[in-house]
Amino acid sequence: MGALLPAPGRGLPALSELDLSAFWPAFDAAAPAHLRLGLRTACLVLGSAPRLMGFGRSLSALSDDERERFIVRAAETPGLAQLVEVAKVVAAMAYFSDAHVQDVARARGRDEAGADAPRAQDAPQERDASREQDAARDQEEP
């Protein structure tokens, strides 16, 4: 999974540096069956596909550069591209399940958006105010 999401830097760790032991049981319990099956298929196929594509070894045995070349090539190959996308989606879910990653990403977003950007904790109040406005508008309509 680490080959799919390179280290973003600027205070964010690489996926391979995270402890995802709590993510996988939660994923297995919450993910729909077709996503779990898609991920298993992606892992099996992408794990062995480098041998068939001239790399001579499984994905886990490739160097970082070889792994990157394989992922780029697989993402452009019909049939494999969809499996790469499934694996990327789950890798992103796993990555952002980490509390430290969430904190750094949110702080980075606020810093880039400026001080006037709404904070995540403000969202419920904004949503409630919007619902109250919608309810008042609905009552006014004949």
Q: Are 82 and 76 in contact (CB under 8 A)?
A: no
Half-sphere exposure of 41 toward its Cβ, with a 13 Å CA cutoff?
Answer: 14
| Residue 138, pLDDT score | 56
| Residue 10, pLDDT score | 74
pLDDT: which is higher, 141 or 37 = 37
Q: Decide if pLDDT at 5 tops 90.
A: no
Confidence band, pLDDT 50/70/90 cuts, at residue 35:
very high
